[in-house]
Amino acid sequence: MYLFFFELFKDNGISNSLSSFLGLLSVSGIIILITIILSYVSRNFIKKIFTQIAKRTSSNFDDSLIENKIPSLLGYLPPLFFLIIQVPELLSSFQNLSVVILNILEALAAFISILIIRGVLKSITDQLRNLSILKDKPLESYLQVFMIFIWFVGGIIILSLLTGKEVGVFLTTLGALSAVILLIFKDTLLGFVASIQITINDTVRIGDWITMKNYNADGDVIAISLSTVKIQNFDKTITTIPTYKLISDSFTNWRGMSDSDGRRIKRAILVKASSIKFINDAEIKSLKKIDLIADYIKRRNDEIKSHNDLIQTDKIELINGRNFTNIGLFRAYIKSYLDNHSKINNKMTVMCRQLSPTPTGIPLEVYAFITDKDWTAYEGIVSDIFDHLLSALPSFDLENFELYSKY
């Protein structure tokens, strides 16, 4: 084709050098035009094929391939191969230029091939994430590992194609620079090791609620990659933590609570110490009207009376022998109230315990598990329970501790 245009311009009285240039320009224009047309046709044809397949199949894999632009990338290869075939013939009289352009085209083909591999791997990762057993695994980390390897190999091949040197030359150079490379990719390598340890030990999964005070992180894990872990805090801010920090630093994972049959309540009421007292028979009679502890009072009253009769205790003073206290009955009331609460899991630990006295009163701690683990529902249930218990304090002639204020 080049000779045809060369002879055509030469026969029209144009000099050899100008005829050669115009001939080369004409052939280049024709090849570029064919390449553009071929690129347009091939891209649209491949897109159409993928779209038709995606419509006819129930799998999401072909949809994922389209989203990752695989059809478009594949559409670039036919025109590239066409150019690679035509360039040596087109530039047969310009060997040096032909070699340079051919190397660039081959390197570009290698680069597009890497992008296609990346898209396919990402599509596979997206499909694997739909599997229940892999849904909470750090698949992006493994994808990044594969891509680092592919880019490493592909980069060497591209450099080899561009320079015309053997691959072994670059491998030798990289071996000499291994210490520098290790330093550059230190965080990536640490992250890779951390990702493996996290997966093997099942330390953290995507979706876990974790707390890491050193980084003010308190929320759900939304992504785990080679270099970072993203945590969406409850105020919707995002905290990014180096992956290897999950191995080297301490943190709290609340998954155990999420997987259990209840969410724990561990909260105390502070009872004013001066309001605690023994209670007399008249007060006991009055408290028997409370349904939740009526049976308890009757049973315990019989036990106390039997014991006091046995040791012949003088009951003129309440301090003698065994007696009811208002805080003891209130503690029994709390236990009975929790046992009968519809949102408390009675198959797990349920108790009310008295803790050591503090400067702010005597703590009566509620320790139980709520069946509804949703945060909003949980807080509402806990509030309802303590609203009731605080309101019940006066019925036992007890007072909640409050700091004195002149205001």
Number of Cβ within 10 Å of residue 41's Cβ equals 13
pLDDT for 39: 78
Residues of the chain with CATH 2.30.30.60: 135-144+157-259
360 phi, psi to nearest 5 deg: -110, 20
Residue 305 CA to residue 28 CA, distance in Å, equals 114
The pLDDT tens digits along the chain (407 residues) read: 555 555 566 656 666 666 666 666 666 677 777 778 877 888 888 888 877 877 777 777 777 887 888 888 888 888 888 878 877 776 666 677 777 888 888 888 888 888 888 888 888 887 877 777 766 666 776 777 778 788 888 888 888 888 777 777 767 766 666 667 667 677 777 777 787 777 777 788 888 889 998 888 999 998 887 778 899 998 889 999 888 888 888 888 888 777 788 888 999 999 999 999 999 889 999 999 999 999 999 999 888 888 888 888 777 778 888 889 999 999 999 999 999 999 999 999 999 999 999 999 999 999 999 998 888 899 999 999 999 999 999 999 999 988 765 55
Token pair belonging to 108: 């570009």
Q: Provide the Cα torsion 380, 382, 386, 389; round to 10°.
A: 110
Q: Domain spanning 135-144+157-259: which CATH class is it, in words?
A: mainly beta
Q: What pLDDT shows up at residue 368? A: 94
Answer yes or no: are the C-beta atoms of 220 and 232 closer than 8 Å: yes
Task: Enumerate residues 6+ apart whose C-beta is below 8 A from 54.
Answer: 62, 63, 66
- CA pair distance 198, 115, nearest whole angstrom: 29
Q: What is the DSSP track for 203-223? A: ---TT-EEEEGGGTEEEEEEE
Write the Ramachandran bin of 361: left for phi over 0, alpha for psi from -120 to 50, otherwise beta: left
Coil, helix or strand at residue 355: coil
pLDDT at 362: 94
Sign of CA dihedral 112, 114, 120, 125: negative
**pLDDT given for residue 383 in this prediction:** 95
Measured distance CA(216)–CA(214) in Å, rounded: 6
Q: What letter does residue 344 receive in the DSSP assignment?
A: B
Q: Helix, strand, or coil here: 201?
A: helix
The residue among 303, 296, 374, 377 whose CA lies nearest residue 337 is 296
User: 363 is written with which tokens?
Assistant: 């703590």
Decide if 222 contacts 216 (C-beta within 8 A). Answer: no
pTM, two decimals, is: 0.54
